[in-house]
Amino acid sequence: MLSHSHPKPLRTGRPRSAAADEAILEATRASLVDLGWSKLTMSDVATRAGVAKTTLYRRWAGKNELVVDAVAVLFDELELPDLGSLSADVQAVVLQFAALLERPETQTALMAVVAESTRDEALRARIRSAIVDRQKRLVLLGRERAQARGELPYEKSPESAARNADLIFDVIAGAVVHRTLVSAEPVDATWARSFTSLLLLGLGGVET
């Protein structure tokens, strides 16, 4: 009687630990705050996280990729609430975004990777894919809700829809980042309300 042996499953390597990843990314942000970009090393992050340096290199090729991911998970915390109107939704996410930027670890990490990316095209591309493109989900969701409510018209083509989404994201993100990190001015409810009016109504709709 012939026996049929079943092939053994291929080993795909040791599974990643979510807890280890979280500890590594948190240690990366802490190292940036304490040491700055130039002095931060993979060894220091591994020591702070309580893992072997080889563990880091199995997950990230180098410091650039590690730091971008450490920043990206912070921005993944952003959520767009459904408050019943586009104006209320925008104001809420603006305040949420500003609060995130006020955290020391966010400020240090974001400023560090942006500064370094001016000399590194690969790093700039990683920032776009890991942070910018992922956070455009908020714009897409907000526009979808507003269109369903009848607050915004539907675009005539996918190309114009994508172009408009990019523009909206750039305006909101650029204004909040500049206000918080460059001008060092508060983003409070009054500012968020005025900014949202300008965004949705244009210059003619701004209160005087």
The whole model's pTM is what?
Answer: 0.82
3-state helix, strand, coil in the chain (%, to 5): 70, 0, 30
Residue 32 domain boundaries: 18-63
Torsion sign, CA atoms 186, 173, 76, 70: negative
What total number of domains does the chain contain?
2
Per-residue pLDDT tens digits for 28-50:
999 998 998 889 999 999 999 99
> Do 108 and 182 fall into the same domain?
yes
The answer to whether the Cα torsion of 15, 61, 71, 49 is positive or negative is positive
137-184 tens-digit pLDDT: 999 999 999 999 999 999 999 999 999 999 999 999 999 999 999 999
Q: Are residues 32 and 89 in the same domain?
A: no
pLDDT by residue (tens digit) across 58-80?
999 999 899 999 999 999 999 99
Check whether residue 91 and residue 135 sit in a common domain: yes
